[in-house]
């Protein structure tokens, strides 16, 4: 059943008042896979996510039509018990929102509501989910300290653990790393990759590199329309639609002209990264470096390392069967 759809949506339309934000979106989210929703700001990514768990009901003037089938149940049908459906879905927001209580109590919160009172059982549950969230080792000696004392990246992993402790089947993430530093982002990405063994994951991101690192499937939304959907490597590396190609190649950068080009074919990681850094070092802030690589690892690792150093990765394009070009704008 691995590739069957856990969520199927059909002709979903969403409006805020007169503003038609999602237009006839029909698509499926395969079980135990990561689907990334990509697209520019304002195209309806968050709205689509909020339709899935009907959090959109909380927005005054919002209307949704169509079908959203989760495990055979239409989430948009008003006669269903929405709390049941919501329990199946955990939401990881853009900014971590820990409850004003201890680390322990944050994770124990959901299980307590669901009636677990036994101290030993709660202890086990808290440890289990802090481990799954990838935070246990860092906090096991200070479980009673306030959650807001944690770094922002740790708080986000705590929120992940808290969400998982109520045993959802689906994890919805809305740009879950956009408020985090690169190392914390990497932690969250690593956890999500592990979690897809057990959960269906939908992640909204406007970061193509993140989509490349994480996604099995990609949905490209543009102005509320589904432009393209398919396996991540097809959509990201060889899109069928010109609008997707334009977005991915960062046409926003169509006119970017490199100031220097460095050919690192034949070099493997981490050397290609080190040489690219040296080349960038010689350039002034704002200048553009084009790096050519043929090491498949470099296609994700060079952009990640450059972002970690605070530079802007303008685009990553495949030139031919073996070669890729990475365009970087020096920031610092
Ligand atoms: N609560 C709201 N009321 C009115 N318009 C909204 C509301 N939330 C979002 N919008 C509008 O809907 C469109 C899609 O927004 P959103 O789903 O947040 O896009 P994205 O997440 O892709 O940036 C935007 O034009 C936005 O301004
Ligand atoms: Mg959004």
pLDDT in tens, the chain (332 residues): 445 999 999 999 999 999 999 999 999 999 999 999 999 888 999 999 999 999 999 999 999 999 999 988 999 998 988 888 888 999 998 889 999 999 999 999 999 998 999 999 999 999 999 999 899 999 999 999 999 999 999 999 999 999 999 999 999 999 999 888 888 889 899 999 999 999 999 999 988 889 999 999 999 999 999 999 999 999 999 999 989 988 887 644 444 578 889 999 998 888 899 999 999 998 998 899 999 999 988 988 899 899 888 898 888 887 888 888 999 999 87
If you search the block for the tokens 């490349």, which residue do you land on?
212
Please write the tens of the pLDDT for every residue from 261-309.
Answer: 999 999 888 889 999 999 999 899 889 999 999 998 898 889 989 988 8
pLDDT of 157: 95
Q: Residues 170, 8: contact at Cβ < 8 Å?
A: no
Determine the pLDDT at residue 2.
46
pLDDT value of position 256: 59
Q: What is the pLDDT of residues 104-134, one digit of tens each?
A: 999 999 999 989 999 999 999 999 999 998 9
> Ligand 1 center to residue 20 CA distance, Å?
10
Q: What is the pLDDT of residue 255?
A: 44
Beta-carbon contacts of 227 under 8 Å, excluding residues fewer than 6 positions away, are 39, 220, 221, 241, 243, 244
Give the position, in ligand 1's atom list, of the atom nearest the Cα of 16.
4
Ligand 1 test: best mutation among 22, 47, 224, most atoms within 8 Å of CB? 47
What gap in Å lies between CA 68 and CA 56, rounded to an integer?
Answer: 13
Check if 45 has its Cβ closer than 6 Å to any atom of ligand 1.
yes
Is the beta carbon of 47 within 6 A of some atom in ligand 1? yes
User: CATH 3.40.50.300: does it fit domain 5-248?
Assistant: yes
* Domains 5-248 and 253-329 in one fold: no
CA 42 to centroid of ligand 1, rounded, Å: 6
The pTM (predicted TM-score) of the whole model is 0.77
- The finding on whether 236 has its CB within 6 A of some atom of ligand 1 is no
Kindly report each contact of residues 228-236 with a partner whose C-beta sits within 8 Å and lies 24 or more positions away, as own/partner: 229/27, 232/36, 236/208, 236/211, 236/212
pLDDT at res. 252: 45
Domain limits of the chain? Answer: 5-248, 253-329
pLDDT of residue 33: 98
209, 41 contact by CB (below 8 A): no
Contact, 48 vs 22, CB < 8 A?
Answer: yes
Q: Whose CA is nearest to atom 24 of ligand 1?
A: 42
Report the 10 Å Cβ neighbour count for 224.
Answer: 22
In eight-state DSSP terms, residue 133 is T
Start-to-end CA distance of the chain, whole Å, equals 48
Ligand 1 nearest atom to the CA of residue 59, by list position: 1
The dotted CATH code for 253-329 is: 3.30.110.40
Specify whether the CB–CB gap between 67 and 54 falls below 8 A: no
CA 14: distance to chain centroid? 22
Assess contact for 101 and 147: CB atoms under 8 A: yes
Q: Whose CA is nearest to atom 14 of ligand 1?
A: 44
């Amino acid at each position: 059943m691995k590739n069957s759809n856990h969520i199927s949506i059909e002709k979903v339309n969403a409006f805020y008042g007169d503003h038609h934000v999602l237009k006839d979106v029909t698509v499926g989210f395969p079980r135990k896979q990561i689907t990334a929703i990509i697209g520019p700001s304002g195209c309806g990514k968050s709205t689509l996510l909020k339709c899935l768990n009907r959090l959109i009901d909380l927005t005054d003037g919002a209307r949704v039509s169509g079908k959203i089938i989760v495990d055979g149940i239409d989430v948009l049908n008003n006669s269903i018990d929405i709390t049941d459906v919501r329990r199946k879905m955990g939401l990881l927001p853009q900014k971590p929102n820990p409850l004003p209580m201890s680390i322990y109590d944050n994770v124990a919160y959901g299980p307590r509501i669901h009636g677990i009172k036994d101290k030993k059982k709660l202890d086990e549950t808290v440890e289990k989910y802090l481990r799954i969230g990838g935070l246990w080792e860092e906090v096991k000696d200070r479980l009673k300290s306030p959650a807001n004392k944690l770094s922002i990246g740790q708080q986000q992993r705590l929120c992940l653990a808290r969400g998982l402790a109520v045993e959802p089947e689906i994890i919805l993430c809305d740009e879950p790393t956009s408020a985090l530093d690169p190392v914390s982002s990497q932690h969250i990405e690593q956890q999500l990759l592990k979690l897809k063994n057990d959960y269906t994951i939908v992640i909204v991101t406007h970061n193509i590199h993140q989509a490349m690192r994480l996604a099995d499937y990609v949905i490209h939304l543009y102005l509320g329309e589904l432009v393209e959907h398919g396996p991540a490597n097809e959509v990201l590396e060889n899109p069928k639609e010109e609008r997707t190609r334009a977005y991915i190649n960062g046409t926003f950068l169509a006119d970017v002209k490199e100031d220097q080009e460095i050919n690192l074919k034949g070099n493997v990681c981490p050397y290609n990264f080190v040489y690219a850094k040296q080349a960038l070092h010689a350039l002034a802030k704002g200048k553009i470096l084009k790096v050519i690589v043929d090491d498949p690892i470099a296609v994700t690792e060079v952009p990640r390392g450059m972002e970690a150093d605070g530079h802007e990765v303008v685009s990553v394009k495949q030139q031919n069967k073996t070669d890729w070009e990475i365009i970087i704008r020096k920031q610092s």
